[in-house]
Structure formats: structure tokens, C-alpha cells
Amino acid sequence: MGIDGIGNGGRIPPGGSGGVGGAGGPSATKETGRTFDVHGPDHVDQAKAGAAQQAQQAQQAERSPVERLRAGEIDVNGYVDLKVDLATKNLSGLSRVELDQIRATLKHQMANDPAVVDLVKQATGAVPSGTKPDGE
């Protein structure tokens, strides 16, 4: 007779459970519930859509404001907004009020200072609409 039913053709000895001290051998598998599923097909479609959107945003971020203007994605006022965003993106230490005043002043200058207006017109082919800075 073998140990734990080994060597006896897989037969369990009479009155025993096949193991030493009554310990059972391998039992029939039991149903554990849902099968393992990493992601369903819906998740794949959502991931592809999210990746495509991120790629489009990255492509737009790589394009300069003047390229976006020429492509028709933005108008001249959108161009001014993007240029002001670029000019003020490193001013995160300022309060919101201070940052808004600086942004408004820059927009006003880009729309009203003859030298700056000329530069915007050379870059874009159009003149931005006038804006007033906060507090005027």
C-alpha cells in the first residue's frame, strides 16, 4: 500500500479517506462564482476612445496658437487668449485676483497698443477686439 493512495491504482483504502490520520485527498472542484475577467470588450472601446482623445489633445497642445488659428480651430481672440495663457502659466504663486488683473492687462495691451496690435496683425492677419482690464 502506498502513501495517500499513491501506488494503489488511485483506489481509496476501505474505511479511509485516502490520507494519513483521516486527511482527505483531492476533492471534487467546487464552483467559486464568477470567472476571472480582466476587461470586457466595452472597456477596450472606452480605452481606445480615451487614448484617441488624449492623442488629439496632445497634438493640439503641440501646435502653436498661430497654427491653430490658421487651421480654423480658433479666432484671433482665441489666439490672444492662448498667448496670454502661455505668458502667465508660470505665475502660479500669485493670487487669483492678481493673475486675472495681469491677464486682463495683457489682453488689453494686445488689443490696443499700436505696436503690439501690429505684431498680432502680422502673426494672425487680423486685429483682436478691444478689451478693458479689470478696474477700468
Q: How far apart are CA 112 and CA 92, in angstroms?
A: 26
Per the domain annotation, does 17 fall within a domain?
no
Q: Which of 100, 98, 124, 94 is nearest to 110 (CA)?
A: 124
Q: What is the pLDDT of residues 32-57, one digit of tens each?
A: 666 666 655 666 667 777 777 777 66
Q: For residue 131, is it left (φ>0), alpha (ψ between -120 and 50) or beta?
A: beta
pTM of the model: 0.48
Per the domain annotation, does 37 fall within a domain?
no
Give the three-class secondary structure for 67.
helix
Q: What is the pLDDT of residues 60-106, one digit of tens each?
A: 567 888 888 888 898 888 888 998 999 999 988 889 999 999 999 99
Per the domain annotation, does 131 fall within a domain?
no
The range of the structural domain enclosing residue 92 comes to 44-124
Per the domain annotation, does 132 fall within a domain?
no
Per the domain annotation, does 48 fall within a domain?
yes
User: What DSSP element (H or E) covers 51?
Assistant: helix 41-62
Number of domains in the chain: 1
Q: Quote the cell numbers at residue 69.
A: 488659428
Per the domain annotation, does 81 fall within a domain?
yes
